[in-house]
Amino acid sequence: MKKDKPELKRYRLDVSAQFYPIISTKKAQSLFRLSAVMDKKVDGGILQRAAEDVLVRFPTFKVRLKKGYAWYYFEENTERVRVTPSTGELLRPIDMKLTAGYPFRICYEGDRIEFEVFHAVCDGMAALVFLKALVYRYAVLSGAPVQGAEGVIDLAGLPSDEEAEDAFYRYYRPIRFGEVDLKGLMGELPLLLPGTIAEEGYSADYRAVSSSAMAAAAKSMGASFTAFVSGALAYSVEKLTRGRKAVVIMVPVNLRSMFPSKTLRNFVNFVRLVFRPKECRMLADYVRSASEQLKAKATKEEMEKFFATTVRTEKSLALRIAPLWFKILMARIFRFFLKSRQTMIFSNVGKVSLPEGCGLKRVLFNLNVSKTSKVNVGMVTVGGETTVSFTRSITETELEREFFRTLSELGLTAAAI
């Protein structure tokens, strides 16, 4: 008698992930990369075993993307995950036929472990949890003298429902559209960085800066790490372009700090930092403006309003009954006419710590770029070193040089990696 196949588990995409696959094409996907730089050359065979072991603990990653009537959804993937040598291409669109259906890639090259993931799966903080677990398990299987497991998700434990939750729905509070400044959410058209789109694909520059020195520089201006770097980036853009339009930097805010959740899916909102040339002249002006805007906009109340609007939109009758093919068509038409609302994205995922002996030297964080959002910046701190990653779709590197020149004028040394 033929046995029935076990029913595969399904996961509804979280609210902020719903439109990522809808607006994606074969040439343009919303991806990001986290890379662990190790103290020794990476063994691909051991990394394969580590990936297989770790993935079982992350059921919302162990999935494949499927089409439903109204929305995409994730379905449990029973295929063996594939770990492959790196092709050297940065944030190349994922062909899921080559990844056994998985919406991510795990690659290795020299001393690096690369984890590139489709944003529909998770945000940067959740991806970091996965990467840390992968590095930890790799170190253990390699026979490294790992001391304890502090800072790593419990790999022997069972996945919890909270880890798979859509935290946007958990904290959703119905609001009236009048409570939200829709014009402010969209904002004015910003300055767009000039540059020649590189035909050979994306590229990146990485620099390491002393985290204590950068913290001291930020403190001297009364700002946080994020506000300091945001202001310095805006100042560098203005020095380079002398533009008449505002520089707009989008900064993702990890909502888990305001709305407690262990979710390993997306749970971030963006704060729109606007720097107008007439209002800011010196570096200190830009840093002060960034600090004031973050304090005013990155509040629990403002974040709640923002994602409540997103949830309410998704819950609308029109979107619930519209077939997926129609949503895809409308999204692509809308995307064709939509003007970019940001100059760049800057994301700081904070400090990464792993047990002694894991062999982690640093983490690199590459954000997706495009023809309009030409340069984006990621930042991660490991030990006493902060790594700043500039990812670009253009050939010019003037912005990176201007930014690090600005840091140098403050006495901050940025070593090339």
Instruction: Please check whether residues 197 and 95 belong to one and the same domain.
Output: no
pLDDT at position 296: 96
Of 114, 138, 155, the residue that ends a domain is: 155
pLDDT digits (tens, 9 = 90+) for 258-299: 999 999 999 999 999 999 988 888 999 999 999 999 999 999
- Return d(Cα 233, Cα 229) in angstroms, integer: 6
pLDDT digits (tens, 9 = 90+) for 121-165: 999 999 999 999 999 999 999 999 999 999 999 999 999 999 999
Per the CB < 8 A criterion, the answer to whether 236 and 406 are in contact is: yes
Q: Does a structural domain hold residue 60? A: yes
pLDDT at position 1: 46
Instruction: Please check whether residues 133 and 235 belong to one and the same domain.
Output: no
Instruction: Please check whether residues 83 and 150 belong to one and the same domain.
Output: yes
pLDDT digits (tens, 9 = 90+) for 105-119: 999 999 999 999 999
Which CATH number do you get for residue 282?
A: 3.30.559.30
Cross-sheet strand order for the sheet of 10-12? 10-12, 72-76, 63-67
Q: Does a structural domain hold residue 169? A: no
- Return d(Cα 193, Cα 173) in angstroms, integer: 37
Q: Is the pLDDT of residue 54 over 90?
A: yes
Q: Is the pLDDT of residue 177 over 80?
A: no
Range(s) of the domain holding residue 338 = 182-299+312-354+364-416
Q: How high does pLDDT run on average in the chain?
A: 93
Taking the CA atoms of 30, 224, 308 and 268 in sequence, report the sign of the dihedral they define: positive
Give 289's contacts (C-beta < 8 A, 6+ positions apart).
231, 234, 273, 275, 279, 280
Instruction: Please check whether residues 119 and 188 belong to one and the same domain.
Output: no
pLDDT digits (tens, 9 = 90+) for 356-413: 999 999 999 999 999 889 999 999 999 999 999 999 999 999 999 999 999 999 999 9
Which CATH number do you get for residue 104?
A: 3.30.559.10
Candidates 389, 318, 337; CA nearest to 90 is: 389
Total domains, the chain: 2
Instruction: Please check whether residues 39 and 151 belong to one and the same domain.
Output: yes
Q: Is the pLDDT of residue 242 over 90?
A: no
Instruction: Please check whether residues 248 and 383 belong to one and the same domain.
Output: yes
Instruction: Please check whether residues 350 and 402 belong to one and the same domain.
Output: yes
Per the CB < 8 A criterion, the answer to whether 37 and 363 are in contact is: yes
Q: Does a structural domain hold residue 168? A: no
Structure tokens at 150: 């502090």
Instruction: Please check whether residues 190 and 123 belong to one and the same domain.
Output: no
Q: Does a structural domain hold residue 291? A: yes
pLDDT digits (tens, 9 = 90+) for 289-328: 999 999 999 999 999 988 888 898 888 888 889 999 999 9
Q: How confident is the model at residue 26 (pLDDT cuts 50, 70, 90)?
A: confident
pLDDT at position 309: 87
Candidates 167, 362, 366; CA nearest to 263 is: 167
How many angstroms separate the most distant Cα atoms in the chain? 78
Q: Does a structural domain hold residue 245? A: yes
Instruction: Please check whether residues 145 and 199 belong to one and the same domain.
Output: no
Q: Does a structural domain hold residue 228? A: yes
Of 105, 137, 155, the residue that ends a domain is: 155
Instruction: Please check whether residues 109 and 65 belong to one and the same domain.
Output: yes
Give me the phi and psi of 64, to 5 degrees please.
-130, 150
Instruction: Please check whether residues 233 and 145 belong to one and the same domain.
Output: no
pTM of the complete model: 0.94
298: helix, strand or coil: coil
Query: C-alpha angle 296/298/299, rounded to 5°?
Result: 80
The number of helix segments (H) and strand segments (E) in the chain equals 12, 15
Structure tokens at 119: 């944003």
Quick one: average pLDDT of 205-225? 97
Element (H, E) at 401: helix 398-409
Of 138, 155, 172, the residue that ends a domain is: 155
Q: State the SS3 of the chain.
A: CCCCCCCCCEEECCHHHCHHHHHCCCCCCCEEEEEEEECCCCCHHHHHHHHHHHHCCCCCCCEEEEECCCCEEEEECCCCCCEEECCCCCCCCCCCCCCCCCCEEEEEECCEEEEEEECCCCCHHHHHHHHHHHHHHHHHHCCCCCCCCCCCCCCCCCCCCHHHCCHHHHCCCCCCHHHCCHHHHHCCCCCCCCCCECCCCCEEEEEEEEHHHHHHHHHHCCCCHHHHHHHHHHHHHHHHHCCCCCEEEEEEEEHHHCCCCCCCCCCEEEEEEEECCCCCCCHHHHHHHHHHHHHHHCCHHHHHHHHHHHHHHHHCHHHHHCCHHHHHHHHHHHHHHCCCCCCEEEEEEEEECCCCCCCEEEEEEEECCCCCCCEEEEEEEECCEEEEEEEECECCCHHHHHHHHHHHHCCCCEEEC
Query: C-alpha angle 319/370/202, rounded to 5°?
Result: 135
